[in-house]
Structure 1
Amino acid sequence: MVLQPSNKNNVLKKRSSAKSSENIPPVKLRTVSSSLKDASRRRRARVAGNFSTTSNFATNKQAYAQHIKQRKMKSSSSKALRFHFESFSIPVQDVEMKDIQPTTQQIMEKTTVQLPRHLARPDYKEISRETLTAIDPELTKTPVEYIHEGLTALGPEMYKVLGGVKPAPLPQSPALPQELAIVINDLSSEMPSHMLAVYSSQTNNTASNRRSKVTLYPSHNIVLAAHCANLPPLRSITHPAPKVAGSSITVPVVPLCIPAAELYAPLSMYLYTKRADLLLQSLLPVVPPTPINVYASPDETPEEAARQQQKILSFARQLAATYTPHALLQYAMRVNGLWRNVCALGIFDSGIWETIDTAWEVLLLALGMATGNLDKVMGGPTSSS
């Protein structure tokens, strides 16, 4: 299945009109809205004893601002870093020089790669009320914090439902269908509302590079709307909820253009489960022996912060001793790809930014150790990112 994007810079390509994008969503999604608010109330009641106030709960905006403040306080440099990588190439033999014997000797060359010391954070942007209202008018005045609390409780079960979705065979066509029948094998939670056709933005638009590889992902529009500030309302289809496993429903197919399509799967997993440990695992060659985080918690003592810094350095040293600089660079590019996706979609979840900054810090330290450039990396504190 291929797609011919008309504008490579768009985050989302919609086939529907503005009017159709605000259609009433599937009947099941109205239950999702009520479930989210109920789950949020129960969660807050357990934690704070009073779910009617939000003062006891830090918002994504507050956490985002706090991280930026920590970075500014601890960082002494934000300059780009240059790493030198050794590479081998075989010289091309000139066929006209017949009197010279061909050589198979490899010539070692050096390649310089420039990486930013810190991955920049965009300005915070609020979630669109229009997008939430398009899903359910009852969400118009619901605090986003309540919706996030509800998704924290319901998200893992919703993600489990996605694992049981099987799309019907795609039609033999060079273009994406506007709708697609999917088979639902897990009825334990809310049904997906869309099938996302995810592909990467193109670096050029030549005739040989117009066709893009597309991967289909079932998704819930409430999860996307609650996390992605740059996402417009998604067209929906009204359908009855399936009553037995193996039933099929029809959902819209929505093209989604992001910088690194190959990293949409771990991003989607995190948005549903909030498992920062699994997201970090997808960005590094091995799992850290103990939990690591470049950002200090509000109640962390200086001694605990110093121990955390030593844990990060020790783990980076382990990576540098185990993996080649080229392998570490590949993982750094994975982190960079996820970062570009998060920026493009407008995601400001504190957990995902902590994970991105932590993975980037570890990999830069490991690259510095492996290439003899650790002093350049250490120009800024190792506990910041």
Structure 2
Amino acid sequence: MFQVAAHPSSFAMHGHGHHQTMSTSTAGIQLPRTLSRPAFAEVSRDSIMAVAPELANVPAEYIRRGLRPKAHQMLAGISCMSSSHMPTTMTKSHVPRVMTVPVRSSSSSHATYPTHVLAVASSKSSGNEHVFMFPVHNIIIAAQCSALPRLPPSSAVPSSALHLPVIPLSLPSPAAFKVLHGYLYNHSLEAVFKSLFPLPSGFTQGLSHYTVQSTLSSGSLLHQLSTYLCSSSGGSLQALTGHAAHVKELWQDMVALGLHDPELWDTLDLAWEITLGALNIAASNH
């Protein structure tokens, strides 16, 4: 199994180590003031060459930008897979080394089929638990996740079925990886926020990196969004702590994968600021 260590390996709600903490003393909650970003590490050139030799001399950032317009073809390829043969979850002990998945004809003649399946288990538990199955394209992983080992080769794609190598992967939060799996293809900041907690649709709809950055620098906007989140959570410290847990699980998986996307990191920072602000507002009302 590819064991990817999170950094830190566990996130207790105690804010220790080198992190600054802020305290909502009423509930006895302490959280890190910021979610630290690991040092940037570019993806492996060997990993890219292994899946796309023709891109050997192309800068990684250029490859990533070039993948964005092709995402709809890749997602079309995933949607062509027979759901009866491609379960979303599976008992860990029953995960095969290769999955044979029939494919349906696509309305798009340019559908690009996935090359592998990631069987994602939680690094926080062991035993015979369920794992989550995610079809992926090797170049999507190789070009964006610097901490993952090089994927093994996949066989040639026949016309009626795919034979996909299954890669066991251990991450802090399989549920958070579901969000990241979508982002690796569609790069939708709106979808990331909607997966974390409720915000006004006028803010999240078509959310851009520019809006994320400008909101981070506006104390009044941050306060408005924190107030909205606190209100929509009924002022419940328990509910807001749950939202904070979702954000930190996303953070842990991003670090573990070596995902250094600036737009996503700024969005994570914004989500954390809004959540901490909502917690402080709720704590002051208790």
TM-score (norm 1): 0.62
Give the corresponding residue for 2:40: 124
Say yes or no: does 1:227 pair with 2:139: no
| Contact 1:180/1:250, CA 8 A, preserved across alignment | yes
Residue type of the partner of 2:23?
Answer: R
CA shift, 1:229, in A, is: 0.4
Q: Secondary structure at the match of 2:202?
A: coil
For structure 1, which segment, 364-373 or 161-170, has the greater mean C-alpha deviation from structure 2 after superposition?
161-170
Q: Secondary structure at the match of 1:232?
A: coil
**Alignment match of 1:255 (pick from 168, 171, 174):** 168
Q: Secondary structure at the match of 2:195?
A: helix
CA shift, 1:202, in A, is: 2.4
Counterparts in 2 of 1:193 and 1:287: CA distance versus 1, 3 Å: farther
State how far apart, in whole Å, the 2-side matches of 1:287 and 1:272 are: 24
State how far apart, in whole Å, the 2-side matches of 1:332 and 1:122 are: 20
Give the corresponding residue for 2:100: 181
Give the corresponding residue for 1:192: 114
Give the corresponding residue for 1:157: 73
Q: Secondary structure at the match of 2:164?
A: strand
Q: How much identity, in percent, do the aligned residues show?
A: 30
Cα RMSD for the two superposed structures = 2.8
Name which one, 1 or 2, has greater alpha-carbon Rg: 1
Q: Secondary structure at the match of 1:254?
A: strand
Counterparts in 2 of 1:228 and 1:305: CA distance versus 1, 3 Å: closer
**Alignment match of 1:11 (pick from 4, 7, 26):** 4
Say yes or no: does 1:264 pair with 2:177: yes
Give the corresponding residue for 2:12: none
| Contact 1:159/1:269, CA 8 A, preserved across alignment | no
CA offset digits 1:40-91 (Å, max 9, x no partner): xxxxxxxxxxxxxxxxxxxxxxxxxxxxxxxxxxxxxx62122246xxxxxx
Give the corresponding residue for 1:217: 134
State how far apart, in whole Å, the 1-side matches of 2:266 and 2:24 are: 24
| Contact 2:91/2:131, CA 8 A, preserved across alignment | no
Q: Secondary structure at the match of 1:153?
A: helix
CA shift, 1:346, in A, is: 0.3
CA offset digits 1:96-149 (Å, max 9, x no partner): xxxxxxxxxxxxxxx522210100010000110110011022121111122112
Say yes or no: does 1:348 pair with 2:265: no
State how far apart, in whole Å, the 2-side matches of 1:347 and 1:337 are: 14
TM-score (norm 2): 0.82
Q: Secondary structure at the match of 1:147?
A: helix
Say yes or no: does 1:311 pair with 2:221: yes
Say yes or no: does 1:284 pair with 2:197: yes
Give the corresponding residue for 1:295: 213
* Structure 2 unaligned regions, length at least 5: 6-18
Give the corresponding residue for 1:383: none
| Contact 1:294/1:357, CA 8 A, preserved across alignment | no
Counterparts in 2 of 1:201 and 1:148: CA distance versus 1, 3 Å: same
**Alignment match of 2:250 (pick from 338, 342, 350):** 338
State how far apart, in whole Å, the 1-side matches of 2:91 and 2:280 are: 49
CA shift, 1:355, in A, is: 1.2
Q: Secondary structure at the match of 1:162?
A: helix
Give the corresponding residue for 1:30: none
Q: Secondary structure at the match of 2:221?
A: helix
* Structure 1 unaligned regions, length at least 5: 13-77, 86-110, 204-208, 297-303, 374-385
**Alignment match of 1:201 (pick from 103, 123, 146):** 123
State how far apart, in whole Å, the 1-side matches of 2:30 and 2:167 are: 36
Counterparts in 2 of 1:305 and 1:175: CA distance versus 1, 3 Å: closer
Aligned pair count?
261
Q: Secondary structure at the match of 2:47?
A: helix
Give the corresponding residue for 1:274: 187
